[in-house]
Amino acid sequence: MTMGDLLVRGMVAGLIASVLAFGFASLIGEPPIEAAIALADTTTNPAHATDDSPVVTRVVQRTIGLATGIAMLGTAFGGFFAIAFAFIAGRVGAFSARATALGIALTAWGVIYLIPYLKYPPNPPAVGDAETIQYRTAMYLAMLAISVFAAVAALALGRHMTAQSGAWNASLVAGGLFLAVVTAGYLLLPVINEVPETFPASLLWSFRLASLGTQFVLWTAIGLVFGTLTERALHGSQQPSLTRAGAR
């Protein structure tokens, strides 16, 4: 298996995973989005009040729009996942392809999504001042960058320490470093709160939970599908594989 094969597998796994994530998003994510838009229409909040000729209708937004968006996300995440897998597989711990894939997927969900999410939780339509979108996006991406940096640094430190201190201690120190850097990021970056005081808390909770679940389904499925595809290719045939000698 060459690196190109891995990349294709990752993106295919992402595309398959996005079908599941789309199902979850349609069932669990759309109701709170619709409720928030309905709320916006009845209040003076101009964000997303419907006008006479919307560029894209709600029906398109919640069906093929949502499907296309999630498919693009899934494919992109799958590609990124394959690259991360190539760097990590065989270098961190002694795990099978499947276990490595699932571990990377869950870690990526935590690092790329959950850490920025807990600092800057997503808002449904009708929440957020359109004037501050650039500022909010910049802060969100800054938190994302800090999280990714912390994860890469923790991984590097953990690998470096494993030889001398053992995997357990190295993992503890690496985990501690990750949490310390992320906590510093939480403290340094500004607090943003643009939720109107009258916005229903339970609706906000439903939306944020749906967002959490959608990304969880997407990443878990990427890890499991990629693991299944790769395990067969790596362990099924008794090839040494993955190295140049074992390539097709």
Both tokens of 115, joined, read 């850490």
Considering the rule CB under 8 A, would residue 134 count as an interface residue with other proteins? yes
Q: Which of 103, 122, 167, 216 binds other proteins (CB under 8 A)?
A: 122
Q: How far apart are CA 71 and CA 106, in angstroms?
A: 19
Both tokens of 68, joined, read 């296309």
Considering the rule CB under 8 A, would residue 190 count as an interface residue with other proteins? no
Q: Which of 52, 53, 94, 237 binds other proteins (CB under 8 A)?
A: 94
Q: Give me the least distance between CB of 176 and other proteins, in Å please.
A: 26
Q: Which of 29, 158, 223, 227 binds other proteins (CB under 8 A)?
A: 29
Residues 136-165 interacting with other proteins (rule: CB under 8 A): 136-138, 140
**Residues near 116 by beta carbon (within 8 Å), at least 6 away in sequence:** 140, 143, 144, 147
Considering the rule CB under 8 A, would residue 75 count as an interface residue with other proteins? yes
Q: How far is CA 138 from CA 16, 116, 132, 238, in A?
A: 31, 12, 10, 48
DSSP one-letter code for 164: H
Q: How far is CA 157 from CA 76, 131, 164, in A?
A: 28, 41, 12
Considering the rule CB under 8 A, would residue 73 count as an interface residue with other proteins? yes
∠ CA 237-221-29, rounded to 5°: 170
Q: Letter for the amino acid at 140?
A: Y
Q: Which of 16, 111, 120, 146 binds other proteins (CB under 8 A)?
A: 120
Considering the rule CB under 8 A, would residue 72 count as an interface residue with other proteins? yes
Q: Give me the least distance between CB of 229 and other proteins, in Å please.
A: 14
Q: Which of 9, 20, 45, 48 binds other proteins (CB under 8 A)?
A: 48
Q: Smaller CB distance to other proteins: residue 175 or 236?
A: 236
